[in-house]
Amino acid sequence: MTIQERKAIPIPQVEARKPVPRQNLRVPGPTPVPPEVLEAQAAPMINHRGPEFSAIMKRVTPRLQYFFQTASPVLTYPAAGTGGQECAVVNVFSPGDHVVSIIIGNFGKRLAQIAEAYGLNVSRIEFPWGEAADPAIIETRLKELAPYKGVLITHNETSTGITNDVQALAALVRRLSPDALVVVDAVSSLSSVPLEMDPWDLDVVFTGSQKGWMIPPGIMMIAASERAWQAHKNAKLPRFYWDWTSTRKHLETSWQHPTTPPVSLFYALDVALEMMLAEGREAIFARHVKAGDYVRGRVQAMGLKLLATDLRYASNTVTAIQAPEGIETKALLKKLHDEDQIVLADGQDHMKGKMFRIGHLGYFTEADLQQALDAVERHLKELGYQA
């Protein structure tokens, strides 16, 4: 095709924009955002190289360190949570490095896929969906698989509603392989359930803004231990956008970023962190414990089956429920959406249509959860479900 033949693109005809609906949004991210945080985004733009932006970073960085429980700098990137997975891998490993990937669901699988895409030698320890990583099995397998440079662990598996005992798993890795890096995907856990990066001796921890942080998606936060920073110095995987060295340098010299940060989302983060500190870290954890207990209790009272096989590992940020026999998740979710403006999440991967998930993290009240569960109960009956 010659240049002359190439067609100009006409103005497209599109459907008219409608107001964004107000819903009871109960997916495990994006989570509802408090009105004062939503409003904060509407402030005018400022220069990301100026003192006003640096002032924001001076406030949010130590507060993020407090929620991470780390003395290491918490670095922030314009990215989705998957960006955190890639950022973790490319900064500490080299091509061919042997890493062990502990997989209990879809996001653990994704972290392993990223490590493989970058040419790492990945050994997988997989558990069926609904189970947590069993420390006894992990210990046996890690002994067989040694030596390895790192172990990749999902803290809270969003696809299955299971929370791994990261503290125990990290202690196990440390005992067996003192120099191995413990990389923790804390996207849907951090700030909602306990995670103590330095006390638990975790090496890389990352999370995403759209989960427990009560702000919209678009900021990824990541921190590294001294051990991980040492590994970073010799890590040979190619990187530029995700490179920790330049991000840390800009943070430490000017409270800024090497690239243009998502300014309006930082306005939101600034306000959300204030609200979270006003509520208190332990109070937030307690609220999530209560939410998890409440949702699981209601689900079991309905005679429904949790995906979690062992309640000790059932997540306090997202509950996964098996679809009753003969009922399609899709029909239930559609009724909830269309009739009640309640939005739940379908299963992922091979469990799509076979389960549904209720998010209970970040900004919510028990009344939100009650409304959602009342509606689930009503619609399941309409669909022919009998407990």
Question: Residues at the annotated binding site for substrate?
Answer: 357
Under rule CB under 8 A, residue 282 binds its own copies: no
Q: Which of 73, 81, 292, 324 binds its own copies (CB under 8 A)?
A: 81
- CA-closest candidate to residue 106, choices 126, 88, 123, 89: 126
Q: Which is nearer to its own copies, 239 or 385 (CB)?
A: 239
Pattern 361-380, binding to its own copies, x per CB under 8 A? --------------------
Start-to-end CA span in the chain (Å):
64
Please answer whether residues 355 and 322 qualify as being in contact, where contact means their C-beta atoms are separated by less than 8 angstroms.
yes
Q: Which of 150, 261, 292, 324 binds its own copies (CB under 8 A)?
A: 261
Please answer whether residues 99 and 150 qualify as being in contact, where contact means their C-beta atoms are separated by less than 8 angstroms.
yes
CB of 297 to its own copies, least distance (A): 25
Compute the distance between CA of residue 310 and CA of residue 299 in angstroms, rounded to an integer.
15
Q: What angle do CA 21, 34, 289 make, to 5 degrees?
A: 110
Q: Which is nearer to its own copies, 268 or 295 (CB)?
A: 268
Residue 28 gets which letter from DSSP?
Answer: S
Stretch that binds its own copies, among 1-9, 147-155, 300-308, 311-319 (CB under 8 A): 1-9
Please answer whether residues 266 and 209 qualify as being in contact, where contact means their C-beta atoms are separated by less than 8 angstroms.
no
Q: Which residues on adjacent β-strands are paired with residue 100?
A: 123, 151
What token pair was written down for 48? Answer: 């990301």
101: which residues sit within 8 A by CB, 6+ positions away?
A: 108, 111, 112, 115, 122, 123, 124, 125, 151, 152
Binding residues for its own copies restricted to 203-222, rule: CB under 8 A? 208, 210, 216-218
Q: Which of 73, 76, 86, 375 binds its own copies (CB under 8 A)?
A: 86
Q: Which is nearer to its own copies, 271 or 385 (CB)?
A: 271
Q: Which of 245, 254, 260, 370 binds its own copies (CB under 8 A)?
A: 260
Under rule CB under 8 A, residue 339 binds its own copies: no
CB of 383 to its own copies, least distance (A): 20
Q: Which of 141, 248, 290, 337 binds its own copies (CB under 8 A)?
A: 337
Under rule CB under 8 A, residue 123 binds its own copies: no
Pattern 127-166, binding to its own copies, x per CB under 8 A? ----------------------------------------
Compute the distance between CA of residue 320 and CA of residue 63 in angstroms, rounded to an integer.
31
DSSP code per residue over 182-240? EEEE-TTTBTTB---TTTTT-SEEEEETTSTT-S-S-EEEEEE-HHHHHHHHH--S--S
In SS3 terms, 89-138 reads as HHHHCCCCCEEEEEECCHHHHHHHHHHHHCCCEEEEEECCCCCCCCHHHH
CB of 156 to its own copies, least distance (A): 15
Q: Which is nearer to its own copies, 241 or 285 (CB)?
A: 241
Stretch that binds its own copies, among 74-82, 97-105, 127-135, 372-380 (CB under 8 A): 74-82
Under rule CB under 8 A, residue 245 binds its own copies: no
Provide the residue type at 28 as one letter.
P
Provide the residue type at 221 as one letter.
M
Under rule CB under 8 A, residue 65 binds its own copies: yes
Q: Count residues contacting its own copies (CB under 8 A)?
A: 96
CB of 169 to its own copies, least distance (A): 14
CB of 22 to its own copies, least distance (A): 6
DSSP code per residue over 277-296? HHH-HHHHHHHHHHHHHHHH
- CA-closest candidate to residue 197, choices 162, 227, 224: 224
Binding residues for its own copies restricted to 11-40, rule: CB under 8 A? 11-12, 14-15, 17-23, 25, 27, 29-33, 38-39
Under rule CB under 8 A, residue 332 binds its own copies: no
Under rule CB under 8 A, residue 240 binds its own copies: yes
Under rule CB under 8 A, residue 76 binds its own copies: no
